[in-house]
A and B are shown apart, each in its own frame.
Chain A
Amino acid sequence: MVQAGEDAEAVCQQDLPQALKLLFEMNESADKVSSLVDSMLSQVKRGELATEEGLSFLEVKYHTLLSYLINLSHVVLRKVSGASIYNEPCIDRLVELRTVLERLRPIDKRLKYQIDKLVKTAVTGESSDASSFRANPDNMVSKLDEDADVNEDEDAATEKKSVYVPPKLAPVRYDWDESAASRQEKLLERAKRRALSSAMVRELREEFLDAPTELGSRVDSGAGPSGPSKEDRERQEYEETYFTRLPETKDKRKKRKLPTIGSLANELTNFESDFRVLEGEVMPTKKRKSSKKPTGKKGKKGFKKRKSR
């Protein structure tokens, strides 16, 4: 305790000039406030400020603020005169008033528009009719950049009726202001990468390079050249997190059966387009998946279509 006393003295010595300055400032501001309050009191006594027909909400606010200030000054007085404020009833009152003020704040926000209107009318002086307080729908329309759009919409509406634009739901990457040349370049690059990992090139690599041959033992999960496909990986992840087994889809079942002549033929005939991209001769063409013909017995019109002879 003695040591604490010594440290306190040292701290006091350091802060002394600052504390004195602050005390002087406090004195000055207290004088100013008291003069203001006196002038206000005189005004009210003379009857210049009528406070009967104001908003009751604001009255409540003033009263709470006043009581808060009174209690606060009491606490300050006690502290300054060295008395303790332990278990003082004014502390409880302060807390109570503080909570009331906090509750008043959102209501204040909501009344802001009305109060501003009232103050404006009080300042301008006239308009004692109540119709000036009605709602103003023009204020609800945003005035930013709406003028241009209003005219355009009317013209465009008639044109747009013919073309259906699907809604843009999924986010798509925006490569800002990409010129056609750079896009072609990117497509070419992607096609080259795909060609490098195609079956033909892999076989050539196996033949001519000295790397040991890798046998893919798993056809299900370790299918493609870069391991399991994205779908397989996702299914595996799901199964392992949720401890369930998902049933086999139709495509998987078909894949499990031995590869047919049709699929082999597709593989053989596709190699040209992949290959020539590597030499830079041919531009990559868009691959269109062979559309499934309706395998049902009945066509669109409800009867079997016969092949024209």
Chain B
Amino acid sequence: MTEGTATIRTRKFMSNRLLNRKQMVVDVIHPGQASIAKTVIREKLAKMYKAPADTIFVFGFKTAFGGGKTTGFGLIYDTLDFAKKFEPKYRLARHGLYERPKTTRKQRKERKNRMKKVRGTKKTKVGAAAAKKGKK
């Protein structure tokens, strides 16, 4: 908000009832400044559409050559539950609503290979717990 004037205009507004959201193309006009942060854009959209800012997801912002205008996409979900259901995980992670599992690819593959050696319910016990101890 300390940057000064930046106008937000929305185009191609559509309410997508199938995914319980409203989607639009967001144009941000900021002459003479750098492009605006996504959190600021979310707050402004929240004011415009009278929706809680945590159900608003914006992405894909590209600044036109020469500066002054940035175009991106915005989605406003009806409720946060719908947002959690329909949004891809990486966008939820940007808002802090989702944490990726910290296991690396290598570890997952090694665990799978250890489980291959055992049959039946022992898979869950032996594969994971014992092998971890073994690694340590």
Q: Is A219 an interface residue (CB 8 A)?
A: yes
B23 and A218: CB pair below 8 A?
Answer: no
Q: Is B12 an interface residue (CB 8 A)?
A: yes
> What's the minimum C-beta distance from A255 to chain B, rounded to whole angstroms?
10
Q: Is A221 an interface residue (CB 8 A)?
A: yes
B12, B25, B60, B66: the one within 8 Å of A245 (CB): B60
What mask results when residues 55 to 93 of chain B are scored 1 for a CB within 8 Å of chain A, else 0?
A: 000001010111010000100000000000000000000
What mask results when residues 109 to 138 of chain A are scored 1 for a CB within 8 Å of chain B, else 0?
A: 000000000000000000000000000000
Chain A residues with Cβ below 8 Å from B65 are: 218-221, 256
B25, B60, B64, B68: the one within 8 Å of A244 (CB): B60
Q: What is the bound-complex CA distance between A176 and B76, given in angstroms?
A: 55
Do A218 and B60 form a contact, CB below 8 Å, given A240-B25, A243-B23? no
> What's the minimum C-beta distance from A227 to chain B, rounded to whole angstroms?
13
Chain A residues with Cβ below 8 Å from B68 are: 217
> Which residue of chain A is the closest to B25 with respect to CB atoms?
A240
Q: What is the bound-complex CA distance between A137 and B73, given in angstroms?
A: 64
Chain A residues with Cβ below 8 Å from B64 are: 218, 220-221
Chain B residues with Cβ below 8 Å from A221 are: 64-65
Q: What is the bound-complex CA distance between A126 and B60, given in angstroms?
A: 84
> What's the minimum C-beta distance from A291 to chain B, rounded to whole angstroms?
30
Could you say which of B11, B23, B65 has the most chain A C-beta atoms within 10 Å of its C-beta?
B65
> What's the minimum C-beta distance from A42 to chain B, rounded to whole angstroms?
73
Q: What is the bound-complex CA distance between A241 and B62, given in angstroms?
A: 16
> What's the minimum C-beta distance from B98 to chain A, rounded to whole angstroms?
20
Q: What is the bound-complex CA distance between A218 and B12, given in angstroms?
A: 22
Chain B residues with Cβ below 8 Å from A217 are: 66, 68
The B contact surface, by secondary structure, is strand
What mask results when residues 200 to 225 of chain A are scored 1 for a CB within 8 Å of chain B, else 0?
A: 00000000000000000111110000
> What's the minimum C-beta distance from B86 to chain A, rounded to whole angstroms?
13
A243 and B66: CB pair below 8 A?
Answer: no
A240 and B12: CB pair below 8 A?
Answer: yes
Contacting residues of chain A (218-243) with chain B, CB-CB under 8 angstroms: 218-221, 239-241, 243
> Which residue of chain A is the closest to B74 with respect to CB atoms?
A243
A218 and B66: CB pair below 8 A?
Answer: yes
Q: What is the bound-complex CA distance between A239 and B12, given in angstroms?
A: 12
What mask results when residues 31 to 69 of chain B are scored 1 for a CB within 8 Å of chain A, else 0?
A: 000000000000000000000000000001010111010
> Which residue of chain B is the closest to A215 with respect to CB atoms?
B66
Q: What is the bound-complex CA distance between A100 and B38, given in angstroms?
A: 69
Q: What is the bound-complex CA distance between A219 and B65, given in angstroms?
A: 6
Q: What is the bound-complex CA distance between A206 and B9, given in angstroms?
A: 33
Q: What is the bound-complex CA distance between A245 and B63, given in angstroms?
A: 13
> Which residue of chain B is the closest to A241 with respect to CB atoms?
B12
Q: What is the bound-complex CA distance between A239 and B66, given in angstroms?
A: 21
> Which residue of chain B is the closest to A216 with respect to CB atoms?
B66
Chain B residues with Cβ below 8 Å from A239 are: 60
> What's the minimum C-beta distance from A140 to chain B, rounded to whole angstroms?
51
Chain A residues with Cβ below 8 Å from B66 are: 217-219
Q: What is the bound-complex CA distance between A240 and B26, given in angstroms?
A: 10
> What's the minimum C-beta distance from B20 to chain A, rounded to whole angstroms?
16
> Which residue of chain A is the closest to B12 with respect to CB atoms?
A240
> What's the minimum C-beta distance from B126 to chain A, rounded to whole angstroms?
44
> What's the minimum C-beta distance from B114 to chain A, rounded to whole angstroms?
39
Q: What is the bound-complex CA distance between A229 and B53, given in angstroms?
A: 37
Q: What is the bound-complex CA distance between A219 and B68, given in angstroms?
A: 13
Q: What is the bound-complex CA distance between A217 and B66, given in angstroms?
A: 6
- Name 19 A/B residue pairs within 8 A (Cβ), A-sorted: A217-B66, A217-B68, A218-B64, A218-B66, A219-B65, A219-B66, A220-B64, A220-B65, A221-B64, A221-B65, A239-B60, A240-B11, A240-B25, A241-B12, A243-B23, A244-B60, A245-B60, A245-B62, A256-B65
Further contacts, 20 of them, CB under 8 A, given A218-B66, A241-B12, A245-B60: A217-B66, A217-B68, A218-B64, A218-B65, A219-B65, A219-B66, A220-B64, A220-B65, A221-B64, A221-B65, A239-B60, A240-B11, A240-B12, A240-B25, A243-B23, A243-B60, A243-B73, A244-B60, A245-B62, A256-B65
